Chain A
Amino acid sequence: MRKYKVKTKKQQKNLIWIWSGLLLILLILIVFSPYIFPDSNTINYELQLQKPSFQHWFGTDEFGRDLFSRVFNGMRTSLMYSLIIEAIALTIGLAIGLLSGYLGGKVDGFFNYIMNVFQAFPTTIAAIALIAVLGTGDLTLIIVLSVMGWVAYARIVRSETLIFKERDFVLGARAAGGSSAYILGKHIFPNVLLPVLPLATLMIGHGIMAIASLSFLGFGVQPPNAEIGLMLKDSATFISRAPWLLVGPGIVLAMVVALINALGDAIRDKMDPQKQMMEI
Chain B
Amino acid sequence: MKKGVRALALLVIVAVLVTGFTGCTGAKAKDKASATEQTLVVGAAKDFKNGSEPKTLIFDSLTDSLEDMSSGPRLVTEWEKNADFTEYTLKLKEGVTFSNGEKFNAQVAKFNIEYWPVYRDCGYIKKLKSIEVIDDKNLKVSFNESYGNFIDELSKIWVTLPNAVDAKGNITDWTGTGPYVLKDYQADMSATLIRNETYWRTDKMPGITKIDYKVITDENSRVMAVKSGDVDVIGLTEHYTVMPFADVPDLQANKDLQVSICEDYGTITTYSLNWAKGVCMDQNVRKAIALGIDRDMLCSTVLYGVAEPTSRFVLPTYKFSQQEEGLKYDLTKAKAALEASGYKDGDGDGYVEKDGQKLSLKMVVSDTQVNRSVGVFLQDALKKIGIAVDLQVFDATTTKTMLKAGDFDLSTSHPWTGTVVSYLYWRGNLNTYDDYGIGYGVNDEMNTLTETVSVTGDDKVREEAFNKIWDIQNDFVAGVPLYFSQRIFVAQSNIEGLKFCPNTAEVDLSEVVIK
Contact = CB atoms under 8 A, between A and B. Distances in A.
B376 A224 contact: yes
Contacts of A136: 392-394, 398
B247 A237 contact: yes
A237 B244 CA distance: 7
B110 interface: no
B220 A237 contact: yes
Nearest to A240: B250
A223 B394 contact: no
Chain A binding surface, main DSSP class: loop
Interface string B242-271: 001011011000000000000000000000
B398 A132 contact: yes
Nearest to A136: B394
A233 to B, nearest CB: 9
A236 interface: yes
B372 A234 contact: yes
A239 B247 CA distance: 10
B391 A224 contact: yes
Given A45-B297, A223-B375, A224-B376, A238 B395 contact: no
A63 B302 contact: yes
Contacts of A43: 376, 380
Contacts of B367: 218
A241 to B, nearest CB: 6
A222 interface: yes
A191 interface: no
B283 interface: no
Nearest to B397: A132
Interface residues of A, number: 19
A127 B302 CA distance: 32
B392 A222 contact: yes
Contacts of B375: 223
A48 interface: yes
A234 B246 CA distance: 11
Interface in A178-204: none
Nearest to B369: A237
B467 interface: no
Contacts of A241: 246, 249-250
B301 interface: yes
A20 to B, nearest CB: 37
Interface string B217-240: 001100000000000000000000
Contacts of B38: none
Contacts of B249: 241
A265 interface: no
A239 B244 CA distance: 12
B493 interface: no
A218 B220 contact: no
B391 A236 contact: no
B379 interface: yes
B246 A237 contact: yes
A62 B250 CA distance: 15
Contacts of A62: 246, 301-302, 373
A184 to B, nearest CB: 43
Interface string A137-158: 0000000000000000000000
Interface in A212-240: 218, 222-224, 234, 236-240
A246 B370 CA distance: 18
A223 B376 contact: yes
Interface in A233-280: 234, 236-241
B372 A223 contact: yes
A223 B391 CA distance: 7
A236 B395 CA distance: 17
B391 A222 contact: yes
Nearest to A137: B392
A45 B372 contact: no
B297 A238 contact: no
A126 to B, nearest CB: 17
Interface in A110-135: 132, 135
Interface string B372-413: 110111011000000000011111001000000000000000
Contacts of B395: 218
Contacts of A63: 301-302, 373, 376-377, 380
20 contacts: A43-B380, A45-B297, A48-B301, A62-B301, A62-B302, A62-B373, A63-B301, A63-B302, A63-B373, A63-B376, A63-B377, A63-B380, A135-B398, A136-B393, A222-B393, A223-B376, A223-B393, A237-B219, A237-B244, A241-B250
Given A63-B373, A222-B393, A223-B375, 14 more contacts: A43-B380, A48-B301, A62-B302, A62-B373, A63-B376, A63-B377, A132-B398, A136-B398, A223-B372, A223-B376, A223-B393, A237-B220, A237-B246, A237-B369
8 closest cross-chain pairs (CB), A and B: A45-B301, A237-B244, A218-B367, A236-B220, A224-B376, A237-B369, A43-B380, A237-B246
